[in-house]
Amino acid sequence: MKLASLKHGRDGKLVVVSKDLSSYADAGDIAPTMQAALDNWAEAEPKLKALYEMLNDGEVKSQPFDQAQAHSPLPRAYQWADGSAYINHVELVRKARDAVVPESFYHDPLMYQGGSDDFLPPRADIPLGDVKWGCDMEGEVACITDDVPMGVSSEEAAKHIKLLVVLNDVSLRGLIPGELAKGFGFFQSKPATAFSPVAITPDELGDAWNDSLIHLPLKVDYNGEPFGRAQVEDDATFNLADLVAHAAKTRNLGAGCIIGSGTISNKGEDGGPGKPVAEGGRGYSCIAEIRMIETIYDGEAKTRFMRPGDTVKIWMDDADGNSIFGEIDQTVVEA
């Protein structure tokens, strides 16, 4: 099933979107908003699925779906926590500065809490206050849960994954070293995040959803050129259920909690740093990574961070080349 929130008030208007993303049906009779549906998921889900079937069969009144009219599936959320499941990304950061990766990183996930009160719509500009802040994209996937009890196991956590999304975890690289040095983690260095126009139930992926991982490439284009084609299931030290369980270790998670994967990052074929897409590799889901690889090979980074006018597109196609979540498509602008 595919769901979206059309722009409307603070929380959007819940609609069911057809499998081919061409049309939508109003779901207001089932739940006015995505959050309301998640608050009452056991009751709402079968009704939404029935409507989805009817929409795909042309048996219900529908209207053309315009992705530009969609907000992030949850325009604001009660929790947005982002893991760092792809240790390859961390290994590259450390390698670029000749530091080792602590052994604990391979069994204890990194996770930060993000701002969730003001997400960007998927086609919204990225407001940048200062080019020196070092604006970067981070292409990721995330799950949205129902209520998760404190202390849940990974196995149990998997059952609480109700929806999946793709996202751009906008990051301000220039502010990160100073914030991390203070010891409290990211805050100003993680401005508003943008999510895909559409959220899907995991069954929508068929065999491409397995072991709480999506088995497809995440596509990132930067300024109109292919930049990242990382395979989501490869090199994932943790799956989404592991990350949900980590988040719930000492507290309950409320319905509508979003837990992200961190930047999708693959090793190269030889186990070393991956190559750019233009050189036949899978490329990168953020600029920081190509800069690290430039630093490792050339002694210094040459690719600059994003400036006003730069564009990023993030999406995922199924095996037949059809867009699953719609496209995040953003342009950096001066704030």
CA atoms within 13 A on the CB side of 24: 21
279 touches a second copy by CB under 8 A: no
Query: Rule CB under 8 A: which of 93-132 touch a second copy?
Result: 102, 104-105, 108, 110-118, 127, 129
Indicate which single residue of 10, 159, 304, 307 sits in contact with a second copy (rule: CB under 8 A): 10
Which residues, in sequence order, are CB contacts of 299 under 8 Å at separation 6+? none
Told to check if 81 binds a second copy by CB under 8 A, we report: yes
Q: Pick the piece of the chain touching a second copy (CB under 8 A) from 21-29, 75-83, 212-220, 273-281.
A: 75-83
Query: Which residue among 183, 271, 299, 321 contacts a second copy (CB under 8 A)?
Result: 183
Near a second copy by CB under 8 A, which window of 49-57, 173-181, 229-237, 325-333?
Answer: 173-181
Residue in the block written with tokens 């003001």: 118
- Closest distance between a second copy and the C-beta of residue 253, in Å? 6
Q: Give how many residues touch a second copy by CB under 8 A.
A: 53
- Which of 32/254 has CB closer to a second copy? 254
**Count of Cβ atoms closer than 10 Å to residue 218 Cβ:** 24
Q: Does 41 engage in binding with a second copy (CB under 8 A)?
A: no
The tokens describing 1, both together, are: 């099933």
- Token match 């995505």: residue? 34
SS (H, E, C) 181-227: HHCCCCCCCCCCCEECCCEECHHHHHHHEECCEECCEEEEEECCEEE
Q: Are 73 and 143 in contact (CB under 8 A)?
A: no
Strand, helix or coil for residue 64: strand
State yes or no: residue 39 binds a second copy (CB under 8 A): yes
- Report the interhelical angle of 87-96 vs 287-298 (nearest 10°): 40
Site for a second copy in 215-274 (CB under 8 A): 246-247, 249-257
The answer to whether 77 contacts a second copy (rule: CB under 8 A) is yes
Q: Which residues bind a second copy (CB under 8 A)?
A: 10, 39, 76-79, 81, 84, 102, 104-105, 108, 110-118, 127, 129, 133, 150-151, 172, 175, 178, 180-189, 191-192, 246-247, 249-257, 335
